[in-house]
């Protein structure tokens, strides 16, 4: 059997930190297809870190799954509505007791972490970016439906605000995640600074 030389492609995902029940797995929404473009806007604030907004468009399509109905009974019965519902519920607050994840191979935040009631998500993008965000807007365009009006193709535009330690009260889980995110960026940036030629000022 030939061995595939194609690189393994990680899929982006949103992880909700307030899954119910002690030790329960976090709620994970994996993108069906990675967006082609990720738009990030940083704006300076009077003090503290800049405000960062991340936007992207996700495509969902049931066509391939419907070709194998025995393997995809949920899609046959509901189309892509379960995926749309999962995304929408990420904007709904709920009581949080703790969360952990063993699904993501680069999960950096430990297990059983207590979180606040305010929904804070982790935007997972590759093996080096795990960013705390709030999902502030969803624009859902249902483009195609089956005869029972179940959506089978849609485009979803996400708008996410990166959570910093200025956006949440002291002790909030989002502040801790933000500091870990900044620490990773500083580690990466040091490699750039070290490779630059010396400059006298």
pLDDT digit string, tens, across residues 19-59 = 443 344 578 999 999 999 999 999 999 988 999 999 999 99
Instruction: Please check whether residue 3 lies inside any domain of the structure.
Output: no
Instruction: Please check whether residue 67 lies inside any domain of the structure.
Output: yes
- Looking at residue 5, its pLDDT comes to 62
Q: Model confidence at 118, in pLDDT bands (50, 70, 90)?
A: low
Instruction: Please check whether residue 165 lies inside any domain of the structure.
Output: yes
Q: Which helix (H) or strand (E) holds 43?
A: strand 39-43
Task: Give CA 149 to chain center in angstroms.
Answer: 28
Q: Where are any strands of DSSP class E within 62-196?
A: 121-125, 129-145, 151-162
Position 2 pLDDT exceeds 90: no
What's the total number of domains in the chain? Answer: 1
Q: How far apart are CA 119 and CA 131, in angstroms?
A: 14
Burial 82-93 (b: 16+ CB within 10 A, else e): ebbeebeebeee
Instruction: Please check whether residue 5 lies inside any domain of the structure.
Output: no
Q: Are residues 23 and 29 in contact, defined by beta-carbon separation less than 8 angstroms?
A: no
What are the residues facing 57 on neighbouring strands?
157
Which range of 19-33, 66-80, 86-100 scores highest in mean pLDDT? It is 66-80
Burial class (CB in 10 A: 0-12, 13-18, 19+), 49: middle
pLDDT digit string, tens, across residues 158-181: 999 999 988 887 777 778 888 999
Instruction: Please check whether residue 200 lies inside any domain of the structure.
Output: no
Instruction: Please check whether residue 196 lies inside any domain of the structure.
Output: no
Instruction: Please check whether residue 168 lies inside any domain of the structure.
Output: yes
Instruction: Please check whether residue 178 lies inside any domain of the structure.
Output: yes
Q: How far apart are CA 89 and CA 122, in angstroms?
A: 15
Q: Are residues 178 and 132 in contact, defined by beta-carbon separation less than 8 angstroms?
A: yes
- Looking at residue 186, its pLDDT comes to 94
Position 10 pLDDT exceeds 50: yes
What is the domain range of residue 182?
Answer: 13-190
Q: pTM for this one?
A: 0.79
Q: Show the tokens assigned to 107.
A: 């999960």
């Amino acid at each position: 059997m030939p061995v595939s030389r194609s690189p393994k492609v990680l899929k982006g995902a949103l992880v909700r930190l307030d899954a119910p029940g002690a030790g329960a797995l976090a709620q994970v929404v994996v993108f069906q297809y990675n967006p082609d473009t990720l738009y990030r806007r940083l704006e300076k604030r009077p003090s503290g870190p800049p405000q960062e907004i991340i936007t992207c468009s996700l495509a969902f399509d049931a066509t391939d799954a419907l070709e194998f109905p025995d393997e995809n009974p949920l899609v046959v019965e509901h189309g892509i509505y379960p995926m749309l519902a999962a995304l929408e519920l990420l904007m709904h607050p709920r009581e949080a007791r703790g969360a952990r994840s063993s699904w993501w191979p680069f999960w950096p935040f430990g297990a059983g972490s207590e979180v606040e009631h305010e929904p804070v998500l982790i935007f997972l993008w590759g093996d080096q970016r795990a960013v705390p965000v709030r999902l502030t807007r969803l624009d859902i365009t249902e483009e195609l439906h089956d005869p029972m009006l179940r959506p089978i193709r849609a485009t979803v535009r996400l708008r996410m605000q990166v959570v910093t330690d200025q956006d949440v009260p002291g002790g909030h889980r989002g502040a801790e995640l933000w500091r870990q995110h900044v620490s990773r960026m500083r580690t990466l940036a040091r490699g750039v600074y070290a490779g630059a030629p010396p400059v006298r000022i």
